[in-house]
Structures are given as structure tokens and as C-alpha cells.
Structure 1
């Protein structure tokens, strides 16, 4: 039985890995073509390649459920085409046993996805966006199309680029008094976190509007004390889907405690947390197809069927997710419904094939 487990496992791993490689390659080439149109200043072809390379972990993470579905259809279809599944069943191996043989290697891809989402993607995505902003010459006040706004008391701030190691580029600050009148503005090319809520600003210019006359001065370095920390900026600068599960949970909880809208972060949290369950439901669909309606069709039709099911599954998630934010129903329900429907369809088809 161990030899049979290894044989089925190699077939599934090889098929899923091949499909995953093809999908990520196509996605990367498409992104490369799109980014080439944005080249300017120091954002050269090499920088475009680096940017796309840094975003590959996120692209791989997004394609895992789809690759698992198509890869399992391909791998199991090959076994069925060679009548190996018939031999297994004749030898007394149950459908449940075969399903477990297929699911075990898929667990490695689920673990890979969790590892990427927790420890790799939040770092590489932030590096990629910051490098692109700096390479495109976005080191002037309010020049970044992907910058970040923040507020602390009566002060509003904009950061062109945020690096994960506590370095800011293009820091613009506006200070207001109790009458909402602008009293100062400043721009700093670079700010580095020193610890204890202190940042060191370098090469800046300050405009004072509090007096009768407007005065402008420059400085080489100065200390800036604020409650904004690198950890907070690392959360704010990235879209919810690029954050880790831990950060999504903590920040969504914090927003809820402050009475602020947190549904977008809860939606991303449940999507990431339940991604292994989504992949498992798609594996169940693939197994039920091979033992059921797709048992005797061509390999091309099996792959086509997997692509159609994957597109329908992803489209339903893409529709229900934003709908939960608009109509106010639970983000958990929006993520869970497509998964439960896939699992139910897989179970029904498997029961009919027995």
C-alpha cells in the first residue's frame, strides 16, 4: 500500500506542479508586458523584471487552488486512461482510499500556500511596490500614485514609499491648528526609524505659515517624534490580500474596537484562512469527475472541464466577496458558500459513482 501511495502521490504532485508552473509563467509574462508600458526615469527593463520577480510569490499563492483542480484532473485522468484506477478498485482499494491518496500530496501545496501568505508575500510585495515607486522618480512631494496617507491628531502625512525595515521616502507633512488653519508644511526625502517613536528626517524643507509672513527653511537632519511605527505602516501600505493572517486578524479586531469599518480586512482574513479548505473542495470535485461523468472522456476535455469549474469557482468568490461589503452580510458567509457548494457537488457525484 505504501508503494501505491507513493505512485499516486508522484503522479498528482507532478501534474499539479506542472500546471502551477504554467499558470504562474503566463501570469508573470502578462504582468511583464503591462509593466513595460510604465517604464520611465530609472524604472528600466531590469527594474521591471525585478518587480515582477518579487511579485511571483503572490501570483503563485493565488493560482494554487486552480492548479490543484486542473492538476488532479490531469493526474487522475492519466491513471484512469491507463486503466490503473480500475485495477486499484479491482484490488479492493475503495474510492475513499484513493481520495486520501490524492489529498495527501495536495496538502504539501496547501502548506506552501500558507507559508507564502504568512512569511513571504507581505515582505516581497512591499519591497516590490517601494522599489517601483523609487525607480519611477517618486521622490517629490505627493508624486507617488501608490503612496500612503495617514493622520495623527491635527497633522496629515503622505509617504511616497514605505520600506519594511523602517525607512520612508518622500515624507510630506501638513500641520493644522485648532481652527483648521494650515500652520506648516514640510517635505523630507528620507526618514529612518530610530526606535521609541522617533524618526530621523534627512534633507528636508519646512514652510512656516503661522506668522504674518510665510517663511521657508531647509535642514540636513532633524528628529520627528510620532506614534506611527514601522509595524503599523507595514499594515497600512499593503492591500488586505497581501497581509498575513495574523496581521489581518489583529488589525481587523483593532478596527472593530475603534468602531471603524473592518469588513474588507475580515474578508481577506477568511479568504486566506479558508484557502486550504477551498483547495480541498476542488480536489473533491476533481475526484468525483474522474470516477463519475469524466471517467471515459479525453484528457483535453477533462482539463477543459477543470478550467471551467475553476473559473466559475473564482468568479463566484469574486462576486460574493465585494457583495458582502456592499450589502452588509458576513464576509465568512461570502467565502464559505462557494466552498460548501463545491464540496456538496463532489460528494453527490461520488455517491452516484459508487
Structure 2
């Protein structure tokens, strides 16, 4: 039995890894082609390649559920096509045991993927966004294409890039009053964090009043704020690319500022439940192999896996915004597709017995 366990587990594991390599490779090629359109004297092909390479861990994490679904279909489908599953069933191996044998390697992949998305992908994604912003916007630039906006109280601020050692490039600050009328605007080439405040360099500030506007220029200017480099580094990447602790911390910060935090709460629940999503999708794949796709071709199994994956991802993408529009908790939006897959996979397996 141990030899059988290793054989089934190895077949499924190798199929999942091969599918993951193909999907991530295709996504990397597409990303390189897309980024190559922005090649310039400062943003070279080498830097484009570095950017794509740094985003690969995040791509691996994102595509693990999809790869587990299709890989499990292909691995078990290969055993079904060669009649090995029929022999195993004739030898007295139950569907429940075969399900568990196929689940074990996928759960291992899910745990490794969770660790990848929690500890490695967030750092490499932040590094990728920072190096691209710095390459596309040299030090003298005040504005940038890939910068982000944020808010603290009545101050709206934009920045191009954040370096890990506490240096921010391309800063714009817009100060509003209680009626949301602009009081001043400020631009700075860069700012350095000094422990409890920022020192901005090459500052140009415009003060607005009802009768005249005044312009000030400063070589350096102190900026007192509770915003830290760690906090800024959270907003340069998508919520789904952040680790759980940062998602929780930043969603609390947004709530304290009176801002919407549903995006970050939804990303937190999705990341927390991703191992369960992998298990649910694999259960659907197993139920297909023992049920409607038992006699199907390899191409049709791939097609079915792609369709199931698209439906699963689309349902996630629809339920997320729906939770914000209709006001139900984001945890339900994250759990809904998973529960649906678990129910569908369980029912199909029960019919296959």
C-alpha cells in the first residue's frame, strides 16, 4: 500500500508542478512583452527582465489553485486512461482512499504556496514595484506613472517609490480644509525618514488663499506625520500580495482614518482561506475523474479544468465587489465559492460510489 500511496501521490504532484511551470512561464512571457512597451533609456530590457523575475513568486502563489485543479485532473486522468484506476478499484482500494492519496500532495502544495505568499512574494513584489518606479522616474522627477495615492486626515499624498531603507521618491502633498477646499500643494523630489518625522528635499510649496497664491521653495523641509516607511510600502502593491499581518494592520489603519478597508479585509480572508480553496478545487477535479470525465480525453479534461477555474475565479471577483455594494461581510464573499466547490465535489463523489 505504501508503494501505491507514493505512486499516486508522485503522479499527481508532478502533474501539478508541470502545470504550474507552464502557467507561470506563459504569464511571465506575457508580462515581459507588456513591460517591454515601456523600455526607455532608463528602463532597459535588463530591468524589465528583473521586474518580471521578481514578480514570479507572486504569480506562483496566485496560480497555485488553478494549477492544482488542472494538474490533479491530468494526473488522475492519466491513471484512468491507462486503466490503472480500474485495477486499483478492483484490488479493493476505495474511492475515499484514492481521494485522500490525491489530496495529500495537493495539500502539501497548498501549504507551501501559503508560505510563499506570506513570506517571499510580498517582499519580491515590493522590490519589483520599487525598482520599476525608480528606473522609469529618475531622481529628478516629481511625478510618476506607477505611483499611488493615499490619505491621512485632510492630507492627500502621492509618491512614486518607497525604498526599504526609508527613502521615498517623488512626493506630492495636497492639504485640504474641513470643506475639502485646497489650502496648499507641495512637491518634493524625495524624503528620508528620521525615526519620527520625514525630511523632504528640493521642496516647492504653493499656498492658496482667497486673494492670492504664494510660492515657497525649500532645500529641505520637515514633515511631521504618523506615516512610516513600513506603512507606505503596503500601498505600492495590490492587497492580495500582502502578508496577513500587514493586511490586518493596514485595514485597521484605514478604519481609524475613516476610509474604506473592504478591499484589504477581502484580501485577508482570501489569503487565509486559500489552502481550503485548493482543497475544494482538487475535490472537484477528483469527482470529475471518478464521474463525468472518467472516459474523457486529456484535452477535454484540460478544457473542463480551465472552465471550472474560470468560473471559480469569476465568482470570487463578482462576490468581492458585491460584498461592498450590498454590505455583507467580506468573509462570506471569500467562503462562498469554496463552499460551493466542496458541496459540488462531495455530491459528485457520492454519485460515483
Q: Give me the TM-score of the superposition, normalised by structure 1.
A: 0.89
Contact 2:35 2:48 in 1 (8 A): yes
Distance 2:179 2:326 in 1: 38
Moved more, 237-246 or 344-353: 237-246
- Please name the residue that 1:103 is paired with: 103
- Please name the residue that 1:27 is paired with: 27
Distance 2:350 2:173 in 1: 64
Moved more, 234-243 or 52-61: 234-243
Where structure 2 has 5 or more consecutive residues not aligned to the other structure, the ranges are none
Q: Give the deviation of 1:287 after TM superposition.
A: 0.9
Q: Any residues of structure 2 matched to 1:1-354 within 5 Å, and which? A: 1-137=1-137, 139=139, 142-152=142-152, 155-174=155-174, 186-195=186-195, 197-202=196-201, 204-207=202-205, 209=207, 214=214, 216-219=216-219, 223-256=222-255, 259-354=258-353
1:228-280 Cα shifts (integer Å, max 9, x gaps): 11121122332211211222123224434555322211111111111111111
Distance 1:174 1:341 in 2: 46
Structure 1 pair 154/86, CA: closer, same or farther in 2 (3 Å)?
A: closer
Contact 1:249 1:266 in 2 (8 A): yes
Contact 2:64 2:113 in 1 (8 A): yes
Distance 2:141 2:256 in 1: 34
Q: Give the deviation of 1:342 after TM superposition.
A: 1.3
Contact 1:41 1:135 in 2 (8 A): no
Contact 1:184 1:206 in 2 (8 A): no
Structure 1 pair 217/88, CA: closer, same or farther in 2 (3 Å)?
A: same
Moved more, 181-190 or 325-334: 181-190
Distance 1:180 1:76 in 2: 61
Distance 2:229 2:89 in 1: 57
1:287-343 Cα shifts (integer Å, max 9, x gaps): 111111111222222222111211121122222222222232232222222211111
Secondary structure (helix, strand or coil) at the match of 1:274 reads helix
Contact 2:143 2:171 in 1 (8 A): no
| Aligned pairs, number | 351
Secondary structure (helix, strand or coil) at the match of 2:266 reads helix
Structure 1 pair 92/188, CA: closer, same or farther in 2 (3 Å)?
A: same
Structure 1 pair 302/154, CA: closer, same or farther in 2 (3 Å)?
A: closer
1:15-55 Cα shifts (integer Å, max 9, x gaps): 00000000001111111111111223311111111111111
Q: Give the deviation of 1:143 after TM superposition.
A: 1.8
Root mean square deviation, CA, Å = 2.6
